[in-house]
Structure 1
Amino acid sequence: MNLVTRSFYARDTVKVAQDLLGKILVRNIDGNMISGIITETEAYKYKDDAASHSFRGMTERNKAMFGEVGRAYVYFTYGMHYCVNAVARSSDYPAGAVLIRSLFPQDGIDFMLKQRKSMDVSNLTNGPAKLTQALKITKKEYGEDLTKRYNLFVMDGMKIKRSEIKAGPRIGIKKALTNLWNFKISKNILEDN
């Protein structure tokens, strides 16, 4: 399988969020590949998106959103969880990122179970904090180049049809609720392929 190239991320953030569905997020830990198929994403834009971290401008925390596309933006939230995003935006915008909300586990499931201290595969990576814990993604991966085979990267996966994508409001936000920028696919699609 091929790496997803930087040009993939240099497009409208909402389109990238949809097109990341079916791609594979890979974590390399000491040569062990832990991976999952991306099944849920959320787009976060710039000044036109009050729910985005970049809405009020650049800070130390969100500066990756303003940087090179195709890099990881990892942040700490609620004083206990990490979330991972892919920096993505067209040249019309100075900032943007796609939150990776859920994965369908593929490789390294035993590692993920240990990380999550769980025996329930169905509950392993079905949330943004769960997947970062399962793949051991922390602030150390902030700025990681997702277009290179190193510690964290994205590979081509399945081609998902637009008709297989469900769009809805983003989860856990109180602003910009009319933006239906949460995208997900059913795990049935993955199990059928």
Structure 2
Amino acid sequence: MTDRIPATRRDLADLPLAVAPRLLDAVLETTVAGERVSLRITEVEAYHGRGTGSVPDPGSHARMGPTARNATMWGEPGHLYVYLSHGIHSCVNVVCGPEGTAGGVLLRGAEVIAGADAARRRREERGVVRTDRDLARGPGRLGDASGLRYPHHDGLDAITGARHAGASARLLLAAEPPADYASGPRVGVAGIAGTAAFPWRFWIADDPTVSPFRWGRGAATA
């Protein structure tokens, strides 16, 4: 069994591109309305905001600077940036980097290792669940399974586990993250930000809960 340790702000203080592989095989535990779900993270993507790192990231929500939507990305590491995708699914990111710079790691795929009944019920409220591997396979499904919702849980602190809006979250890092992870372009990101110029997606090779790859609009030809 993999040993895991509570994440600290120092663990997440580097830029998202450096932190992202460290989150593989970590566990995000959420408790919402008294129901706990534990997600073993198998796939992530790094995103940098304006002025973060040496390479501008045109795929980031914070590429143009601070806004009401991305404010959490500019805060201290360890909080969860929760946003709404396509007006339907809440997606979960771990804020990384020094406070005052913007960055986050999108949790794209996970295995539900505890609380499967709650995760399955939440997913069934959103659509058909074909297999257990699909409960948190993809960022929208992961958000649904976790029980975290935008805007109520945006900014939740996964370091202290402080309760807010009927929910709490804790991030536990693998004592020994997998060394044989894979990397490549981010999924569904438009233009050059979704090409091999930004191999900022990381996943545990051959894990069945990793989501399928698809090109974003204009990315395949950028």
Alpha-carbon distance change, 172 to 60 in structure 1, aligned in 2, over 3 angstroms: same
Structure 2 Cα separation of the partners of residues 146 and 171 of structure 1: 25
Residue identity in the other structure for 1:173:
V
Equivalent pair of 1:4/1:155 in contact (CA under 8 Å): yes
Residue identity in the other structure for 1:130:
R
- 2:198 corresponds in structure 1 to 179
Verify: 1:112 aligned to 2:119, yes or no.
yes
Alpha-carbon distance change, 119 to 161 in structure 1, aligned in 2, over 3 angstroms: closer
- Alignment equivalent of 2:186, drawn from 170, 175, 182: 170
- 2:74 corresponds in structure 1 to 66
Equivalent pair of 1:82/1:129 in contact (CA under 8 Å): yes
Deviation at 1:157, TM superposition (A): 3.0
- 1:34 corresponds in structure 2 to 37
Verify: 1:155 aligned to 2:172, yes or no.
yes
Equivalent pair of 1:125/1:134 in contact (CA under 8 Å): yes
Structure 1 or 2: more helix by fraction: 1
SS in 1 for 2:76: coil
Structure 2 Cα separation of the partners of residues 46 and 9 of structure 1: 15
For structure 2, which runs of at least 5 residues remain unmatched after alignment?
Answer: 51-55, 163-167, 210-222
Structure 1 Cα separation of the partners of residues 114 and 206 of structure 2: 16
Residue identity in the other structure for 2:10:
S
Structure 2 Cα separation of the partners of residues 97 and 186 of structure 1: 22
Alpha-carbon distance change, 121 to 66 in structure 1, aligned in 2, over 3 angstroms: same
Residue identity in the other structure for 2:184:
G
- 2:84 corresponds in structure 1 to 76
Deviation at 1:28, TM superposition (A): 1.1
Deviation at 1:29, TM superposition (A): 2.5
Moved more, 112-121 or 9-18: 112-121
Deviation at 1:30, TM superposition (A): 4.2
Runs of 4+ in 1 over 4 A off after TM superposition: 187-190
Deviation at 1:68, TM superposition (A): 1.1
Equivalent pair of 2:37/2:146 in contact (CA under 8 Å): yes
Verify: 1:144 aligned to 2:156, yes or no.
yes
Residue identity in the other structure for 1:100:
L
Alpha-carbon distance change, 189 to 82 in structure 1, aligned in 2, over 3 angstroms: closer
Moved more, 99-108 or 26-35: 26-35
Q: Percent identity over the alignment?
A: 31
Deviation at 1:105, TM superposition (A): 1.0
Deviation at 1:160, TM superposition (A): 2.4
Structure 2 Cα separation of the partners of residues 188 and 30 of structure 1: 30
Structure 2 Cα separation of the partners of residues 128 and 30 of structure 1: 21
Alpha-carbon distance change, 188 to 81 in structure 1, aligned in 2, over 3 angstroms: closer
Verify: 1:2 aligned to 2:10, yes or no.
no
Structure 2 Cα separation of the partners of residues 2 and 157 of structure 1: 6
Deviation at 1:120, TM superposition (A): 1.8
Residue identity in the other structure for 1:181:
W
For structure 1, which runs of at least 5 residues remain unmatched after alignment?
Answer: none
